[in-house]
Each structure stands twice: as C-alpha cells, then as structure tokens.
Amino acid sequence: MDTRQIDTVIEKYGANPSETIGILMDVQEKESYLPKEVLEHISNKLGVPVTHLYRIATFYEALSLKPTGRHQIHVCMGTACHVRGAQKILDKLERDLGIKAGETTPDLEIGLKTVNCVGACALGPLAVLDGEYHGSINTTKANKLLKKLGRKVEETEETETE
C-alpha cells in the first residue's frame, strides 16, 4: 500500500466524509482493489468507522475487496443483450475460463464480471475487454477474445462467417 497515493486522493476530496464513495472509487482505480489496510487507513484519515467503509465497499458493484484480474472481461447482461443471447456468451466464458462471473482466474490474469447494461444496446450482445467494447459477440468472437488474452481455446478452424 502506498499511503502517499491514497492521501493524495483523500486530499483531492478535502478529506470530506461525504465524498467517501468517490474516494473509494479513485483509490480502487489506483490499487485495483480495496485491501483491508487501505480501508483502515482511509477510516483513520476520514474519521469514518471501518464498518461504514466496508458496508459501502460490499454494496457497490464498482468496488471490490478482492484483487481483480490484470484483464477485465465484463459481459453486458442488459435486457437488449439478454434477448439476443448474452447468457450463452457468459456461460461459454465461464466454462472456458473455469470461473464464475465475479471471480478472477487463479493466476490473477483475467477477471470475469457481468454488468447490468453498459448503454450500448444496439451492439448487443456485448462484452467489454479492458474498457474496449466488443459488439455482436458470438461463440467465434468470444474465442477470439480469449485468444487475445493468451488463453487456449478449442476453436473453430476459420473465423467468422458474417
């Protein structure tokens, strides 16, 4: 934990307890997750009980108490994606990565998450890899994504048929 970095964030928000959520989000961006020591440090600096920070950290989707993967795949589970078969894509990624949504591969390389709607509904089904949107995703495209991340996949010999 680099306390100076965290203190910079806290100071940016004027150490204001009403900015707790923003502070936690910014710190998470820097540290990739919120370790116990970090929450305890923030608790001391803001004068907010660690129970309150813990509650916030477990309540919000964007905050995590566990290390997240170096790469993040977010599968959009919005309604528009759902009706176009997002569940199939999620099932496939879960199978191929051997983890459930919300988990990270044991080598901490890839984190798989679902999101409720990324607001790009015309492109569904959709997966977001490290902030980059991949629209109209199907089995073949999902394989490509996994390959890009250095995962071995049982793949089709050719690429898309579109």
Partner 1 sequence: MVTITIDGKQIKTEEGQNVLQVALDNGINIPHLCYHENLSFYGGCRLCLVEVTKANRTRLTASCTYPALEGITVETNTENVKKARRLVMEMILPMAPDSPKLQALASELGITEPRFHYEDPDGCINCGLCVRACEELVSANAITLANRGDTRSIEPPFQEEPLACIGCAACLYVCPTDCIKMEEKGNERRIVRWERKLEMKTCANCKRHFMPLAQIEFAMHKVREPLDAGWFDNCPDCR
Partner 2 sequence: MRRLNSAAELEDLRKEVLAKRDPQRPCVTVCAGTGCQAYASQNVYNAFKEEIASRGLTGKVDLRGTGCHGFCEQGPLVVILPSEICYRRVQPEDASEIISDTVLENKVIDRLLYVDPVSNEKIVKESDIPFYKHQERIVFGQNRFIDPHNIEDYLALGGYRALAKALTEMTPEQVLEEVKKANLRGRGGGGFPAGEKWEVTRNAPEKKKYVIVNADEGDPGAYMDRSLLEGNPHCVLEGLMIGAYAIGSDEGFVYVRQEYPLAVQNLTAAIKQARELGLIGKNIFGTSFSFDVTIQRGAGAFVSGESSALMSAIEGRVGEPRPKHIPTAIKGIWDKPSNLNNVETFANVPFIIDRGADWFRSIGNENSKGTKIFSLVGKVNNTGLVEVPMGITLRKIIFDIGGGIRGGKKFKAVQTGGPSGGCIPEEYLDTEVDFDRLTELGSMMGSGGMIVMDEDNCMVDVAKYFMNFLKDESCGKCTTCREGTKRIYEILDGMTKGEGKEGDIELLEDLSWVTVNASLCALGGTAPNPVTGTLRYFRDEYEKHIKDKNCPAKVCKGLITYTIDQEKCTGCGRCQKNCPEDVVEGELKSPMTINTERCIRCGVCLDVCRFDAVLVE
**Residue 51 binds which one of partner 1, partner 2, none, with CB within 5 to 8 A depending on kind?**
partner 1
Interatomic CA distance for residues 89 and 120, integer angstroms: 17
Residue owning tokens 């440090």: 41
Token couple for 120: 């790009």
DSSP state, residue 67: P
**Residue 20 binds which one of partner 1, partner 2, none, with CB within 5 to 8 A depending on kind?**
partner 2
| Nearer CB in complex with partner 1: 65/99 | 65
Q: Are strands 110-115 and 71-76 parallel, antiparallel or unpaired?
A: parallel
| Nearer CB in complex with partner 2: 4/157 | 157
Please list the alpha-helical segments (H only) found in the chain: 3-12, 20-31, 36-46, 50-59, 79-83, 86-97, 139-148
**Residue 141 binds which one of partner 2, partner 1, none, with CB within 5 to 8 A depending on kind?**
none
| Nearer CB in complex with partner 2: 105/120 | 120
Give the shortest CB-40-to-partner 1 separation in angstroms.
9
At position 127, the amino acid (one-letter code) is A
Interacting residues with partner 2 (CB under 8 A): 16-22, 24-25, 52, 55-56, 59-63, 77-80, 82-85, 88, 91-92, 95-96, 115-124, 126, 131-135, 138-140, 154-157, 161
Interacting residues with partner 1 (CB under 8 A): 36, 39, 49-55, 58-59, 65
Residues 6+ apart with CB under 8 A from 117: 76, 77, 78, 79, 80, 81
Give the shortest CB-96-to-partner 1 separation in angstroms.
26
DSSP state, residue 81: H
